[in-house]
Amino acid sequence: MAEHHSGPVETGAAMDYPEHEKTYDFFVAGAKYGTLFCVALLIAMAAGFFTSAGFFSSVLLLIILNVVGYFLLR
C-alpha cells in the first residue's frame, strides 16, 4: 500500500541539486537562444516582405542576425 515516512513532509527525499542546476541552465539557454531566433526570424521576414530584398537576402539576414546575436549573448 502506501509508504510510511517518518518526519515532516517538507524534508522529503534527498534532492539532486547539481542536476536541478543543469536543467535550469539548459532551460535559460534554450529560452535565450529561442527568443533570439524568433526575433531574427521576424526581422528577416519583415525585410523580405516589406522591402525589395527578396527571399535569399532575407535568409542571409536571418543567418547573420543569428550569428551576431549568438556572439552577443554568450
Supply the pTM of this predicted model.
Answer: 0.76
Q: What does pLDDT average to over the chain?
A: 89
Residue 9: band (very low, low, confident or very high) from pLDDT cuts 50, 70, 90: low
Q: CA of 49: how far to CAs of 7, 30, 71, in Å?
A: 63, 28, 27
- Say whether pLDDT at 15 is over 90: no
Q: Which cell numbers hold the place of 35?
A: 527568443
Give the pLDDT band (50/70/90) at residue 63. very high
Q: Which pLDDT value is given to residue 6?
A: 64
